[in-house]
Amino acid sequence: MALLGRRRDTVPRLAPELDDTDLGKVRKRLVDPAASNGRTITIAMIEQLLRASGRDWDRRAHRTALLAESTTPAFQRSWAEERVQDPDAQLLFAWGVLRRTLYEESPDPNEAGEALDASMRASSLRPEDPNPWVVRLGLLRLWRRPAEEVFPLWREIVQRDRWHREAHLQMLRYLSPRECGSRAQVVEFVDQVRHSAPPATPAAGIELVALVDLYRANLEYGGVEAITAGHLWTRVDARATLDNALAEWPRQGYLNHAAAVADLNMLAYALVQAKRTKQASEVFGAIRGLVTAYPWNLENDDPVETFTNWQQRAKG
């Protein structure tokens, strides 16, 4: 992985791999129609990349999620069927189903059941890995299952990796009023993380994500809620969240988890929405042009254009 601050190419581009250069190289070969990747080569690349992740479960989650996006459902299924005793093959299939369940209008419940089975096999093959439990949590969240089914999975995850970023994002969205919870539950969850998480953990950005999610919800609600959505950033808690993040996050090397660049994108977006555009300049510099689709796509369908426009205003 390229550490924050090392990348010299500052021309903004959509970078789903974030600053993980090894992941970016593999993804490029997987999605390039001109690349002559046989199935054996594809499997070897994926195995090597995931093996190099070691016990960094947060990075393994980031890599597996993007590999699930960059490979076909047919490949994911065939690899899982061929490698029944391979936890990575089982997890990739399950994560692929999770992704399709999120974006398809009519997801296949039978495939979801297969993914739950695959994630259970992956957890039995590598018991210390929280990621199979994260996939199961995500699937139950998307199927709006009751809390008595979801929270035991959450406990399994935090026993293995207390500050797993993707797990925290899944729980945050599950607890939201848009899904199976309430605003009060979101506040309680965020408060628990804020008061107990050490600085610079992978879950450090959850409080900021919750604010941006609330801002998005107000915009989508329309009417007075949308008109007054910007008032959110004047609240004492929102200002404190931005102040604390701005004081530390842009420093080179402070954030070094897999999705650090995603958190920096979130911070830059929140700052410009809070009309603190000039203060966002340092954050844009730390991002080094590595753009995430969310939250910049909240303004229009071209997140790179939105990012670039705000970056120019911040530097101007």
Domain assignment present for residue 152? The answer is yes
Do 89 and 188 lie in a common domain?
yes
- pLDDT of 2 higher than 50: no
- pLDDT of 239 higher than 70: yes
Section 277-300 average pLDDT: 96
Last-in-domain residue among 182, 204, 226:
204
Spatial separation of the C-alpha atoms in residues 67 and 96, rounded to whole Å: 8
pLDDT for 170-193, tens place per residue? 999 999 999 999 999 999 999 999
Last-in-domain residue among 189, 204, 219:
204
Do 90 and 231 lie in a common domain?
no
Q: Which domain holds residue 63?
A: 37-204
Spatial separation of the C-alpha atoms in residues 162 and 203, rounded to whole Å: 9
CB 268 within 8 A of CB 305: no
CATH number for position 183: 1.25.40.10
Do 268 and 218 lie in a common domain?
yes
Spatial separation of the C-alpha atoms in residues 137 and 148, rounded to whole Å: 12
Lowest mean pLDDT among 32-41, 78-87, 183-192, 265-274: 32-41
Structural domain count of the chain = 2
- pLDDT of 34 higher than 90: no
Domain assignment present for residue 27? The answer is no
- Identify the pLDDT of residue 10: 80
- pLDDT of 295 higher than 50: yes
Do 170 and 257 lie in a common domain?
no
CB 172 within 8 A of CB 186: yes
- pLDDT of 161 higher than 70: yes
Section 224-243 average pLDDT: 93
Instruction: Express as a percent the part of the chain with pLDDT over 90.
Output: 84
What's the pLDDT band for 102 if we cut at 50, 70, 90? confident
CB 287 within 8 A of CB 269: no
Count Cβ atoms below 10 Å from residue 36 Cβ, excluding itself: 7
Last-in-domain residue among 173, 204, 235:
204
- pLDDT of 105 higher than 80: no
Do 197 and 80 lie in a common domain?
yes
Do 76 and 190 lie in a common domain?
yes
Do 264 and 171 lie in a common domain?
no
Domain assignment present for residue 85? The answer is yes
pLDDT averaged over every residue in the chain: 93
Query: What ranges make up the beta strands (E) of the chain?
Result: 13-14, 290-291
- pLDDT of 297 higher than 70: yes
- pLDDT of 104 higher than 90: no
Domain assignment present for residue 24? The answer is no
In 3D space, the residue among 96, 74, 15 whose CA is nearest the CA of residue 303 turns out to be 15
Domain assignment present for residue 124? The answer is yes
Section 197-210 average pLDDT: 95
Domain assignment present for residue 228? The answer is yes
Section 91-117 average pLDDT: 90
Section 258-271 average pLDDT: 98
Do 195 and 245 lie in a common domain?
no
pTM (predicted TM-score): 0.93
Do 11 and 133 lie in a common domain?
no
Do 180 and 53 lie in a common domain?
yes
Lowest mean pLDDT among 33-47, 127-141, 162-176, 237-251: 33-47
Provide φ and ψ at 55, rounded to 5°: -100, 20
- pLDDT of 36 higher than 80: no
Instruction: Express as a percent the part of the chain with pLDDT over 70.
Output: 97
Domain assignment present for residue 154? The answer is yes
pLDDT for 113-143, tens place per residue? 999 999 999 999 999 999 999 999 999 999 9
Do 264 and 127 lie in a common domain?
no
